[in-house]
Amino acid sequence: MTKLDAFKLLNIIERVYPLVIIKSDTVQRWMASCEMMDYGLVLKKLVLHMREKPYPPTFDEILINSSGNGSYFVWMDEYSIKD
C-alpha cells in the first residue's frame, strides 16, 4: 500500500465518522506501516468494520490481525471529537 492509499483510507474514515478528527500521531503511524500492508485487504477490513461498528476503527483493528477484544472507546486514543 502506498502513502497515497493510506491517506485515502484515512479520508474515508473521516467522512464516514464526521464527528472525529484523526490525530497527527495516528497519521504518522499509518504512514510508517503502510508499505507493509495490502491496500485491498485493509480496505476490506475497513468496510467490514464500518458495517458492524458505530465508532471509528483503531489502527490495530484495521492494519493488524487483532482479536478486537480490547477495552471499549480505545479509538479515542487515535481520534478526537470535533467541536
- In whole angstroms, give the CA distance from residue 14 to residue 82: 11
pTM of the model: 0.72
The domain tally of the chain equals 1
Q: What is the pLDDT of residues 14-57, one digit of tens each?
A: 999 999 888 898 899 888 888 888 888 889 999 999 999 999 99
Residue 72 has a pLDDT of 41
Half-sphere exposure of 66 (CA within 13 A, CB side): 15
C-alpha cell at 58: 483503531
Greater confidence (25 vs 74) lies with: 25
Which residue range forms the structural domain that includes residue 22? 3-81
Q: What is the pLDDT of residues 48-68, one digit of tens each?
A: 999 999 999 988 888 753 334
